[in-house]
Structure 1
Amino acid sequence: MRTVRDVTIALLRELGMTTLFGNPGSTELPLFRDFPDDFRYVMGLQESVVLGMADGFAQGTGRAAFVNLHSSAGVGHALGNLFTAWKNQTPLVVTAGQQARAILPYEPFLFAERAAEFPRPFVKWACEPARAQDVPAAIERAWLVAMEPPCGPTFVSIPIDDWDQPCPPHQARRVAADRLPSPVAIAECAAALDAARQPALVVAAGVARDGAWEQVVALAERHQARVYVAPMAGRCGFPEDHALFGGFLTASREAIVATLASHDVILGLGGPVNLYHVDGQGPHMPPEADLWLIGDNHVHAAWAPAGQAIVAQCHHALDALLAASRPAPRARPAPLQRPARLDGAAMTDGYVLQRLADLRAPQTIIVEEAPSSRGPMHDRLPILRPDTFYTTASGGLGHGLPAAVGMALARPHDKVIAVLGDGSAMYAIQGLHAAAQWNLPITFLILKNGRYEALHHFGRHFGMQHLVGTQFPELDFVALAAGHGVPGRSASNAAALDAALAWSLAAAGPTLVEAVID
């Protein structure tokens, strides 16, 4: 009879999970005995990096990635990026080692007392199998649950001695899990859009997850509807050079109402419209506006403070809306006014991002984690193609750099550009090592201002003029990159920036550009 390891490897092969992300520890090693040649193991130098790489890989492939962590300590290290994966709705099968079953009653070293409870509430399902022979079934269930909309991470704790136990064969099953819309609700939503005087669409990350970019463009053009990006959207859902593009909603109650004030029917797609970062007052939507929400996450539908919701995947719902919607002709709204171009006299983040937009090919993939430069990025670095922008939906730091590595592993023929703040980069700088090991085509662009600029922004919001513990002018990212095997260049003026970006964007392997900004 084959072992649990043999049966699990066969299952992972059948499910397409042949790339494993991990940081090896003692309680996980038996999984890797006689590791098959058609699998690859991607090592991260810290478990948060491991989780971030797997997140980027899963988003890039559209399928659940396999993660192997080291007992409770490794799960603890990974929790920040597990939270981000939960908010990103990224499908992951996260496993962790557990001590041998025979010594569990004695609370041994590296023992996890309540292993399946530890990662909650940031997983959809978690278990420690009752028997060794149940491990393959648990991993398959974790995969099925992770892939069922709304997607998300799952967790399985596996005792060290389970892998070598005898195990009967396990056959993977097929489960259809599409979320289809209610025909009655779609008809009502289509009628509201048809009757609208000035409709608007608000796109969130679910549009990209469901591959609905083209359907959103078609619906917007049919209705001549202005299209906004939802607050803190983690992916791109509409071309930002389109004449109907209306810009980005701010995560503030008053700002959302002010931006949408001229619209009488608002359709939110793929995520929350009313996502807030600061407290506010007043209505959640313009008082006379009719709000509709469509997305696969029933939790978003439940807590939304306004509007009628349809729980469905965006591509199915938009196909139905396009079939049902027949509006009268409308005038096209005036195009969004773009800011004047910067001349480079000052080395600002806006200028750096403007030059990146000028020099990059539009199909390159942007993975962003530069919170204080989000506004300049919206103004200066338009996203023009589907599936070319990714960022953290949680607000947590340390996701962007390793996610760029995972994205490059998932899409090896595409150039990946990681746009990172200097503070953000230091949360997961070890991820550079994996980029070097796999010689991945990534440009790491570090916006170096020598401090946590986002906190200074919030300090001004709270009337604070001096903030402690927010300065780090000594960091040298070119030296840090070299220490991980990645060549780098620093640029502190316009000419040096152009030369460094041209060099980096043309490189076949990983490179780092440190842009020193005012």
Structure 2
Amino acid sequence: MPSVRDVTFELLRRLDLTVVVGNPGSTEETFLKNFPTDFTYVLALQESSVVGIADGLSQGLGKPVLVNVHTGAGMGNAMGCILTAYLNKTPLIITAGQQTRDMLLGEPFLTNIDETLLPKPWVKWSYEPKRPQDVPGAFMRAYAMAVQQPTGPVFLSLPLDDWEKEMDALDVSRTVSTRHAPDPARIEDFAARIRASKNPVLVYGGDLSRSRAWEAGIAFAEALQAPVWLGPFTERVPFPGNHPLFAGVLPPAVGPLGKALAGHDLVVVVGAPVFRYYPWVAGEILPAGARLVQIIDDPYEAAKSVTGDSLVADSLLALEALVPLVGSRPARGPVRQKAPTVAVPDNAPLPLTPAQIFAVLSQVAPADVIVVNESPSNMHELAATPLGVVTRPDSSYVMASGGLGWGMPAAVGLALAEAQTGRNRPVVAIIGDGSFQYSLQSIWTGVQHGAHVVFVVLRNEEYGILKAFARLEETPGVPGLDLPGLDIVSLGQGYGAATAKASTPAGIREAFSKALAAKGVSVIEIAAAKAVGDLIPR
């Protein structure tokens, strides 16, 4: 008679869940015993990096990834990146070992107490099987929950003594639908409102990327000849930044966002929340006389929208239904002026500004590069240079949560996905020197697996984004915002990466070119000017 492990691993094969990203502990070793040769184990050195790598790998592969961390202690370490995976809508099946069932009543050392509550609310489903023989079925239900819209992480707590128990050779595999088709009556209503609009505007979000709606999003915008904004903190860019209808990224504050939409009578939001705000800047949510309709794949997001009427549906299916109904409008010119090219002479004063650094990197970066951004204080500068202008689908990633420590492991996971799929696009992670400290252990995993990722670390010796908030919030004298004494190069070398330090335009070009050609993990430290600009335009 087969064991619980036998039946479970056979199910995982059928679900194509043969990559495990983890950091093993004593309560997980019974699951990993005699690890099958047709499975791959990706070791990360800390549980936050485990989840971040799995998040990037899942997004790069477009399918769920299995995660294994160590009981409650490991889950505690992992929670920051689990929160981010939830807001990124990344389908991860997160597992953690639990103590032996025979001892659970007395809560022995390493018991995961209230195990199903620990990861909430940042997982879609959390469960500990009631019997060992329920483990395979629990995996099947977890998979079904993870891949159904809105996609996201789920959690299973697995007692360490379940794996050797015998059970019938059950086949619990099944399939589920992964897209919500739109309500035809609601689509007709939205189409009528769009046709009646004199000057509509579009706001796109990450759902379009997840539903593979890049081309559909372009077709919809061109039919309406409407400007396309990205919603605030959009985690995956779903529209080309070099398209004449691209308007930019909406500011994440009520007043400035409402002003950015001035002149439009209908706001059509597709695949984005309404809206992701952060600092409080007073004003009108929408310009006077404007109305809003939203298409989102998450009923929760639809319910909490601050204004407008919502349709819960897959973005691609909704746009495919709308395009034939909305007609077409006369062509218009570009909706915004092209950003001026940043001039960077070879003898430019040092240290270079972030905008100058990105301009120099753009001179070397290949067209098919994937960019991961976790340098919060200069995202606007990056977006204004060729390196930051997205022209291809699935080539730009940030975290939807605002939690630091996701970018570096996610970049490693994305690079592993590029190698696994054979696309082999280089991954460039723009990382602040503060962000670099959160998950630098992920460098080691990238080195061990030969991932092609270049970490470009801007060293300005401060939390620049927090200094910008201090200005906005009128809070002078905040301590702990300076970061002197960090040696980025030594930290990269300690984990086995190729490293370089650069400051001049020529030095940056040389170091970046060498890293792109190396096909491995590189860390480039670049001194950057301290420049605290306005966080939110008023």
- TM-score by length of structure 1 reads 0.98
State the match for 2:533 in structure 1.
Answer: none
Higher mean Cα deviation, 184-193 or 237-246? 184-193
Alpha-carbon separation, structure 1, partners of 2:367 and 2:263:
32
- Contact 2:258/2:286 (CA < 8 Å) preserved in 1? yes
Alpha-carbon separation, structure 2, partners of 1:169 and 1:350:
60
Measured at CA, do residues 504 and 311 of structure 1 come closer, stay the same or move farther in structure 2, by a change above 3 Å? same
State the match for 1:360 in structure 2.
Answer: 365
Alpha-carbon separation, structure 2, partners of 1:369 and 1:249:
18
State the match for 1:226 in structure 2.
Answer: 227
State the match for 2:245 in structure 1.
Answer: 244
SS of the aligned residue for 2:139 comes to: helix
User: 1:202-247 deviations in whole A, cap 9, x for unaligned?
Assistant: 1111110111110111111111111111100000111001111101
State the match for 1:280 in structure 2.
Answer: 281
Higher mean Cα deviation, 377-386 or 209-218? 377-386
- Contact 2:344/2:360 (CA < 8 Å) preserved in 1? no
Alpha-carbon separation, structure 1, partners of 2:305 and 2:474:
31
User: Which sections of structure 1, spanning at least 5 residues, go unmatched?
Assistant: none
State the match for 2:536 in structure 1.
Answer: none
Alpha-carbon separation, structure 1, partners of 2:97 and 2:414:
26
State the match for 1:407 in structure 2.
Answer: 414
User: 1:350-392 deviations in whole A, cap 9, x for unaligned?
Assistant: 1112222332122211111111111111222211110001110
In the TM superposition, what is the alpha-carbon distance from 1:12 to its structure 2 partner?
Answer: 0.9
Matches within 5 A, 1:423-434: 423-434=434-445
State the match for 2:520 in structure 1.
Answer: 509
Alpha-carbon separation, structure 1, partners of 2:337 and 2:198:
19
In the TM superposition, what is the alpha-carbon distance from 1:191 to its structure 2 partner?
Answer: 2.0
- Contact 2:454/2:523 (CA < 8 Å) preserved in 1? yes
State the match for 1:72 in structure 2.
Answer: 72
Higher mean Cα deviation, 353-362 or 235-244? 353-362
State the match for 1:215 in structure 2.
Answer: 216
- Contact 1:211/1:315 (CA < 8 Å) preserved in 2? yes
State the match for 2:137 in structure 1.
Answer: 137
User: 1:4-48 deviations in whole A, cap 9, x for unaligned?
Assistant: 111111111111111101101000001111211111101110000
SS of the aligned residue for 2:489 comes to: helix
State the match for 2:83 in structure 1.
Answer: 83
SS of the aligned residue for 1:129 comes to: coil
Matches within 5 A, 1:69-468: 69-171=69-171, 172-329=173-330, 331-344=332-345, 345-346=348-349, 347-380=352-385, 381-412=388-419, 413-468=424-479
State the match for 1:6 in structure 2.
Answer: 6
Give % identity: 39
Alpha-carbon separation, structure 1, partners of 2:342 and 2:504:
17
- Contact 2:72/2:113 (CA < 8 Å) preserved in 1? no
Look up the equivalent residue of 1:385 and give its one-letter code.
R
Look up the equivalent residue of 2:402 and give its one-letter code.
G
Alpha-carbon separation, structure 1, partners of 2:428 and 2:329:
43
Look up the equivalent residue of 1:211 and give its one-letter code.
R
State the match for 2:532 in structure 1.
Answer: none
Look up the equivalent residue of 1:244 and give its one-letter code.
L
SS of the aligned residue for 1:113 comes to: coil
Measured at CA, do residues 482 and 328 of structure 1 come closer, stay the same or move farther in structure 2, by a change above 3 Å? closer
In the TM superposition, what is the alpha-carbon distance from 1:335 to its structure 2 partner?
Answer: 3.5
Look up the equivalent residue of 2:156 and give its one-letter code.
V
Alpha-carbon separation, structure 2, partners of 1:199 and 1:403:
36
Measured at CA, do residues 328 and 500 of structure 1 come closer, stay the same or move farther in structure 2, by a change above 3 Å? closer
Extract structure 1 runs of 4+ deviating beyond 4 A: none
State the match for 2:535 in structure 1.
Answer: none
User: 1:148-191 deviations in whole A, cap 9, x for unaligned?
Assistant: 10011100000110011112223201112320111111112222
SS of the aligned residue for 1:434 comes to: helix
Higher mean Cα deviation, 464-473 or 122-131? 464-473
Look up the equivalent residue of 1:488 and give its one-letter code.
T
Look up the equivalent residue of 1:468 and give its one-letter code.
P
Look up the equivalent residue of 1:224 and give its one-letter code.
Q
SS of the aligned residue for 2:191 comes to: helix
- Contact 1:268/1:291 (CA < 8 Å) preserved in 2? yes
Alpha-carbon separation, structure 2, partners of 1:118 and 1:173:
28
Higher mean Cα deviation, 306-315 or 320-329? 320-329
- Contact 1:99/1:111 (CA < 8 Å) preserved in 2? yes
In the TM superposition, what is the alpha-carbon distance from 1:333 to its structure 2 partner?
Answer: 5.0
In the TM superposition, what is the alpha-carbon distance from 1:330 to its structure 2 partner?
Answer: 5.1
Higher mean Cα deviation, 286-295 or 428-437? 286-295
Measured at CA, do residues 294 and 99 of structure 1 come closer, stay the same or move farther in structure 2, by a change above 3 Å? same
Look up the equivalent residue of 1:75 and give its one-letter code.
M
State the match for 2:482 in structure 1.
Answer: 471
Alpha-carbon separation, structure 2, partners of 1:420 and 1:494:
18
State the match for 2:511 in structure 1.
Answer: 500
State the match for 2:502 in structure 1.
Answer: 491
Alpha-carbon separation, structure 2, partners of 1:363 and 1:198:
35
SS of the aligned residue for 1:26 comes to: coil
User: 1:288-324 deviations in whole A, cap 9, x for unaligned?
Assistant: 1121111101111111111111100100000001121
SS of the aligned residue for 1:444 comes to: strand
Alpha-carbon separation, structure 2, partners of 1:194 and 1:29:
60
Alpha-carbon separation, structure 2, partners of 1:405 and 1:170:
36
In the TM superposition, what is the alpha-carbon distance from 1:334 to its structure 2 partner?
Answer: 3.8
Alpha-carbon separation, structure 2, partners of 1:99 and 1:428:
28
Alpha-carbon separation, structure 1, partners of 2:69 and 2:15:
20
In the TM superposition, what is the alpha-carbon distance from 1:327 to its structure 2 partner?
Answer: 3.4
Look up the equivalent residue of 1:128 and give its one-letter code.
E
- Contact 1:195/1:327 (CA < 8 Å) preserved in 2? no
- Contact 1:45/1:430 (CA < 8 Å) preserved in 2? yes
SS of the aligned residue for 1:162 comes to: coil
- Contact 1:257/1:285 (CA < 8 Å) preserved in 2? yes
Higher mean Cα deviation, 274-283 or 151-160? 274-283
- Contact 1:405/1:434 (CA < 8 Å) preserved in 2? yes
In the TM superposition, what is the alpha-carbon distance from 1:287 to its structure 2 partner?
Answer: 1.9
